[in-house]
Structures are given as structure tokens and as C-alpha cells.
Amino acid sequence: MNVFAALMEGRLRSRNLIGTLALVLVAAIAMAAVVTGLESRRGSAARLDRAFMDVGAPDLVVGGGPTGVPAGLDAAASAGLVEAESRFDAAFGSFPLGDGTSVGIEVRSIDDPGTVVVGRPLLRGGRWAESSDEIVLDVGVADLVALGDTIGLEIGGDARTATVVGFATDLSACFFPSCTPLRGYTTAAGLTTLAPDGTYMRAHVRLAPDWDREMAAERLRRDGLVDAVATWDEIRADLLLQGRIFSAMLAGFGGFVLVSSLLVVANTATGSVIARRRELGVLRALGATPSHLVSITVLEHVVLGAVGVVVGWVGGSVLAPRLQLGLDQLGTEAPRFDPTVLLVAGGAVLIVVAVATSAPARAAGDVSMAASVSDAPTDRARSSRIAKLPVSPPVQLGFQIAVARPVRAALAATAIAASVAAGVAGWGVHAAVNGVVEDRAATGDPYDAVVAAPTFVESDRLVERLEAVDGVGGWYTDQSRRGELRSGGAIGSSVKVRIVGPVVSDVGLVLVDGAWPTSPGEALVGWGLLGDGGVRIGETVDIELPEGRLTVTVVGRHADLDEGGEVLLIGDETFRSLSDASPRHWRVVSDGTVERVELARRLEDAMAGLAIVQPAADPSAQLRPFRWVLGVLVALVGGVAGANLVATVVAGARERRREIGVVRSLGFGTSELCRLALSSGAALGAVGVVIGLPVGLIAARWIVSSAVDQIGLGPGVVSVPMVVPSLVAGLAGVLAAAALSLLSTRSLRSMSGSVLIREG
């Protein structure tokens, strides 16, 4: 044991600093990736559920007229449905974003937030409004407005002003900008000032213990006294949607990080064995056995990896709360340092380190005493084909060097391949996410603005006004119900039923499989019902709605992100067999001459208070967190792959010191050495690109496929771009490898040839 400890100490003392740092850094990055993945996956839902309980468990969010909502809630209370509730008067208006556009805002009256029992808003900065000219704004606009600013609002067609005294959020819908309208809070007197012409009502309901949220919501809808009911399950799913997509992407990119880490460790370990070949030979000459050398090589890397594991655990634990996408309005949680995660994830990373080190460790054990001590040349692989290439001697020698050590070359090429693959996958995933979010048809919501009218407004009158607006290209109605779906005799499951009209095929949805419904009794479904839901195209299913039972035949699949794609869509004609209730929501599509915000403004003018108008959410704002997270992930993979490449190239350069000195003695000048380094790096880069491109494309497809499955979009909707990312990543891979190779010989080029030859 003393021998072992002495050998180990000697090894650690004699390590090269760059190699040591690369190993620790890579273990830290791998650990941080694993910890971040674990913590963010389990952290988001748990955190949201904690927040839900903290604000008084608002099981349902109800909206409607100032008489309908109280009546509906009273009836529900009589039926024993309500355990507690909070009501707010509210008014709808528009809020200027400062870039010439505006967004819908719902201002609620709260005199004393302490008295709100259910769905209490959370103050995130400043204070609550105390006078009628003060307002607390949604924290989602905190980067646009400062405390103390006087803002202008437009409510009921009139311009109003208020002073911002605080920022807050609540759990009555998903957060701005993913969901609109954004929320504002003022005093009762303030709301009267802002909206003197009347208000509507919001209420948060905590259900009695016996009531299921879906059942209770259906009961309220069936009474017809309230206009809208959203369950916490729906809101929660919306809030966690970004996190679900992120988790799917993290799983894919996490794989890259681990594979890249394995390569880096293998490379640094190999480099370390090469650099200390003579030392290893001397150790054997002094009595160390091959098993001693294998053990200390593995242990040395595991010990250094353990340092990285601890660093990565701390870093990942700090980073994880910031990666709870979609929950940023709840604030950043304090990091949680979970020892179990340290043990489990750290163990996994150290196993990776040990596996990656095993081959170089065996090589260390096999080092020949005589050869290493006498500096005998190594019998390397060489290609006679390269000798015949019509290129200059430095380029030819560079190519020979690139292929001289097949295992090392393969490791370096794989490092480049990992970088290229990460680049292609990152680009592909980003383009695919862009495509989904920006193409509203692919999300199942191909509209630019929505018009919601109370029940007392006649549909014909509203449509007449709507169609007269300049810039309206079309419209469709969209109502939704909860229904119980029975398929193939299975026990029913609760699904969202969309009822669109007047003609389903004209709405602008994307039909992925099958055919459009053309006659009553036909339906489309989202991927969530086809994939995991067990429904097949061509199957006849029963759907139990509040209005009665429908039997429909599924004729196709449409792209729909709502509720993870667990959506059944029927036409107005089919629904009319159950009810003659007219739709209350019109989704309006621009004719292409106006943007969504301007279209909403024109519609609002045209409605003149008859209906609430909201522009569709800004897709670029929805993309912002994805871009950030993708950037982090690609940077992680790129960082690891870059470290790998540098470690490989530096190890190679270290090994080549004497040979560089020799070629200098033969007359290689700076330009020849540069050409040698460039050709050697470019050759490795080209091999890496050839391997990395297909891997990257396959990975991108897999990650995108996994992500679209997670969000319920299913296959066939999103395409992963291939040509441009492949070209760019391929070129970048070759150039980066050549440039790194050139950089790695920079110090050698400036070093005296005498020193290189003498010290090797």
C-alpha cells in the first residue's frame, strides 16, 4: 500500500496542468449537466405545486359577467362544490409595450391582498396599490417598465394613466408572454376610474374535498352562468409545457455531454500516458508492476474527476433553479444541494471517467521498459497512399501524422464529430422549435387575434362587424368542452373537445394524416390521442359532452399543441346535433397586410365594447427562453467537445516536440510548420465531419422527435433542416480543427529547435 500511495502521489505531482484542468473541467461539466437535468425535471412540477398550495389552491378560475359569475358561484356553493372562493372585478384593455405594439391587459381590483383567500397574487417587487391612480403590473413586463413610471392604458376605447408601484403575478393562467393578457392589479376605486363603463368578474375557487376539478368545471359550464372556466390541471399543463420540451431536449443534449466527456477523459488520459511514457518505463524498472500502473492511472483520473464532480454538483445545483423554464415569474429559488444527487450523479460520472480511462491505463501497464527509457521510435500505422498524394512535403507529413496513431486519430475525430453533431443538432432543434412556434397552424391555433363576446351579444351582429374590418382575411369559431372519450370499449378518459366552424378544412389547420371531416359525425384528433391515447384513424369513438353523447369517426390527425395533443376536434355541424348554442369565440386571421397587434386594435375599435379582443401571443417572446436554454446546452456540448479537441491536439503536439525540432533541422521554416499543423488538423477535422454529420442529423431528428412527442405534436409536422446546418457545421469543424492544430504548435514554432531536439 505504501508503494501504491507513493506512486499515486508521484503521478499527481507530475501531472500537466492543462490536462489536469481539462479533466476537472469536463467532469464538472458532465456532472453539472446531469444535476441540472435531474433537478430541473423534478424541480419544476414540485415547485409549481408548492406555489399552488401557498396561494390558497385555486382549483378553478372562473370568468364572466358581473351578475353571471356570482350567480354561478352561489349555485355551485349550494351544491356543496365550493370550499372557498375569491372574487375580483376586472376590466380588459391594452397595454403599450413601448415598441409601437400593445398587448392585452386584464386589470383586477384588489384593495387588500391579505384578504384574498384563494388564488392570492404574489407581490414580486414594490408594493400593492393604495390609491386609485396606482397600479401593480404583471412582473412579465418588469423589464419594460420601472417602478414610479406613469403608464398609459387603453380601456374601453379610452386612454387612462396610472403610476406603477409594484410588480406581481398569480396562478390564474400561464405567465406572460407565453399567455396573454398580462395581469394588472389596482384598488376598487382605481378600477372604477380606469373602467367607468363597467367591468366583468374573475373568481378563484377552491373545491370541496369530494369534487374533482373536471367534474366541477363541467357543472359550472353546464349551468351556463359563467363564460369561462379553467381548471388548475389545464393551467398547470400550460405552465409546465416549456419545461417538458426543455426536459426532452436536455435528455438528448445530456447524452452528447456524457459521450463527449467520455472522449475527453479518454483523450486526456491517453495524452497523460504518452507524455509520461519514459516515467512509466522508469517506474517499471524500479519495481512497479503493470497492475500498479493500471490502477494508479485509473485512480489518478477518478480522484481528479471527483474534484470535478463536486464542482459540477455545486454548479449544477445553482444553475438548476434558473432552468425551470416557464416559471421565471415565481422568482429564482435558492439552490438545493442534495447529497443524494451528489452520490447518484457523481457515481455515474465517475464510472464514465473510470471506463474512459481503462484503455489508456492498460496502455500504461503495457509500456515497454526498454523502449520507453531509450526513446526508441514507435512502430506506427502509416498510409502508403498518403505518400503518393501530389502535395507538398509539409502537407504530406501533416497527413501522415494525422493517421499515424489510429486510436488517437479516432478519438480526436470523434471529438470533432461530437462538436459537429452538437452544432447540427443544436441548429436543427432550434430551427424546428422556431418552426413550431412561429407557424401557428402547426400549433393548432392559426389565428392572429381572438374576439370573445358575452352571451348576450348576437353572433350575426358580431360577425358583420368583424368582417367589415380592413385586414381581416378570415375567421373561424372555436369552442371547447371537456369530454369523456370511450375508445374500443376502454374506460373513458377526459379530453379536450374543440368545436370549430363553419368549415373545418377552411380554418387553416395542418392535416398530418388521413382526411378532413366532410360530413357530420367525423372528427380529427391530435397526436396525444393517437400516440399514447390508443385511438386509431378510422375508429369510431364515443364522446360524452355536457350537452350529451356523440358518436364520431376519427378520419384524420391534425397538428395541435393544446393539452399535449390530447384533443378531439369536430365541426359545428356535428355539434349542432346536440346543442344550438352559438359560439362565443372568433379566431380572426389577418389577410397578410396587418400585424396581429394592429389587427387586434382595429377589431377592438370595430367591436366598440361589444367583445374582448386580444392579439395572439408574440411567438418571438415565447421563443426567448428556448433560445437561451439551447444556447446553454450547445455551449455545454461545444465546451466539452472543444476541451476534448484541445486536449487531443495539445497531447499530440507534446508528443511531436522532438519531431518538430528535427524537421526544423531539415529546413522547415514557420510557413512549413504552419502548413504541417494545418493539414494535420484539417485531415482530422475532415474525418470528424464525415462521422459527425450523420450522427448530428440523426441526433437532431431524435431530439426533435422526442420533443414533439413530449408536447403532443407527433411526427410529420416539424422538419429538421439538413443542408445549411450540415454545410456550416462541416466547414466549421474542419476549420476549427485546423485552427486549433495551428494554435497548439504556436509555442513550438517559437521555441528553439535545439531545445525541442534536446528535451523532446
Q: What residue ranges bind another protein (CB under 8 A)? A: 375-380, 382, 387, 390, 392-393, 397, 400-401, 404, 658-659, 661-672, 752-755, 757-758
Q: Which is nearer to another protein, 349 or 682 (CB)?
A: 682
What is the closest distance, in whole angstroms, from the C-beta atom of residue 409 to another protein in the complex?
12
What is the closest distance, in whole angstroms, from the C-beta atom of residue 648 to another protein in the complex?
17
- Separation between Cα atoms, residue 229 and residue 175, nearest integer Å: 17
Q: Which is nearer to another protein, 368 or 551 (CB)?
A: 368
Instruction: Tell me the three state secondary structure of residue 527.
Output: helix
Q: For residues 724 and 430, is the Cβ–Cβ distance under 8 A?
A: no
Q: Which is nearer to another protein, 55 or 404 (CB)?
A: 404
Q: For residues 530 and 714, is the Cβ–Cβ distance under 8 A?
A: yes
What is the closest distance, in whole angstroms, from the C-beta atom of residue 713 to another protein in the complex?
53
Q: How many residues does the chain have?
A: 760
Within 457-615, strands assigned E span 472-486, 493-501, 511-514, 522-525, 540-545, 548-558, 567-571, 585-590, 612-615
What is the closest distance, in whole angstroms, from the C-beta atom of residue 682 to another protein in the complex?
17
Q: Which is nearer to another protein, 138 or 655 (CB)?
A: 655
The interaxial angle of helices 459-467 and 596-607, nearest 10 deg, is: 130
- Separation between Cα atoms, residue 477 and residue 574, nearest integer Å: 14
For 106, the grid coordinates are: 386584464
Q: Which residue has the cell 462541416?
A: 730
What is the closest distance, in whole angstroms, from the C-beta atom of residue 368 to another protein in the complex?
12
Q: Which is nearer to another protein, 393 or 546 (CB)?
A: 393
CB environment 66-93: b (16+ within 10 A), e (fewer): eebbbebbebbeeeebbbbbbbbbbbbb
CB environment 532-548: b (16+ within 10 A), e (fewer): ebebeeeeebebbbbbe
Number of Cβ atoms within 10 Å of the Cβ of 299: 18
For 677, the grid coordinates are: 499543423
Q: Which is nearer to another protein, 401 or 720 (CB)?
A: 401
CB environment 170-183: b (16+ within 10 A), e (fewer): bbbbbbbbbbbbbb
What is the closest distance, in whole angstroms, from the C-beta atom of residue 666 to another protein in the complex?
5
CB environment 439-455: b (16+ within 10 A), e (fewer): ebbbbbbbbbbbbbbee
Spacing of C-alpha 376 from chain mean position: 53
Q: Which is nearer to another protein, 396 or 622 (CB)?
A: 396
What is the closest distance, in whole angstroms, from the C-beta atom of residue 667 to another protein in the complex?
3
Number of Cβ atoms within 10 Å of the Cβ of 591: 12
What is the closest distance, in whole angstroms, from the C-beta atom of residue 672 to another protein in the complex?
7
Q: Which is nearer to another protein, 394 or 564 (CB)?
A: 394
Q: Which residue has the cell 444527487?
A: 341
Q: Which is nearer to another protein, 14 or 378 (CB)?
A: 378
DSSP element (H, E) containing 83: strand 82-96
Q: For residues 472 and 590, is the Cβ–Cβ distance under 8 A?
A: yes
What is the closest distance, in whole angstroms, from the C-beta atom of residue 670 to another protein in the complex?
6
Measured in Å, how far apart are the chain's first and last C-alpha atoms?
34
Q: Which is nearer to another protein, 161 or 754 (CB)?
A: 754
Q: Which is nearer to another protein, 57 or 401 (CB)?
A: 401
Q: Which is nearer to another protein, 224 or 669 (CB)?
A: 669
What is the closest distance, in whole angstroms, from the C-beta atom of residue 372 to another protein in the complex?
13
Q: For residues 559 and 444, is the Cβ–Cβ distance under 8 A?
A: yes
